[in-house]
Amino acid sequence: MNIHLKREQYETLFKLVQYGYWVASSDQETNEAQAFGEMEQYILSLAKDFGFDGVEWDEEYNLYDVTATCKNGIQQVIDQYEEMVFKDKLAYYLARRDLAREMTEHVYDEERAFERIVELEEDYHLHLEKHGVDHLQIDKTK
């Protein structure tokens, strides 16, 4: 099978591979991670054919690597994603904690519990959007 790509399509594929490889290889030492690394190297090896200058050959490691400038752009997207996931997960876990505390004093049916956790999550999302983590504290006395 052959896939024909334009330069712009290659750049899009390149970015998708970088984002995907970052996620897939973040905490893995498996055969699948090795296969991902091999695929990344294959895609990087095609950069020159597409006139894409975001890839260079690393003599020391005998591998293709992303240039520093290109890495910075990719890292910005990853950082934005991590920030969004962090806030989303934090709001979710804080809402679950608060709901569990509330349910020691109130009895909620399943529907009301779901509505309440959504309300709590929304409150935390709004708070995090406005203040970031500046108002968060950990009670170390317990």
Q: What is the structure's pLDDT at 32?
A: 82
Q: How far apart are the first and last CA of the chain?
A: 61
Q: Is the pLDDT of residue 133 over 70?
A: yes
Q: What is the structure's pLDDT at 28?
A: 66
Mean pLDDT over 35-46 rounds to 95
Structure tokens at 24: 């897939």
- Say if pTM beats, i.e. exceeds, 0.85: no
Those residues with Cβ within 8 angstroms of residue 99's Cβ, 6 or more apart along the chain or in another chain: 113, 116, 117, 120
Secondary structure of residue 83 in the 3-state scheme:
helix
E strands in the chain: 55-58, 63-66
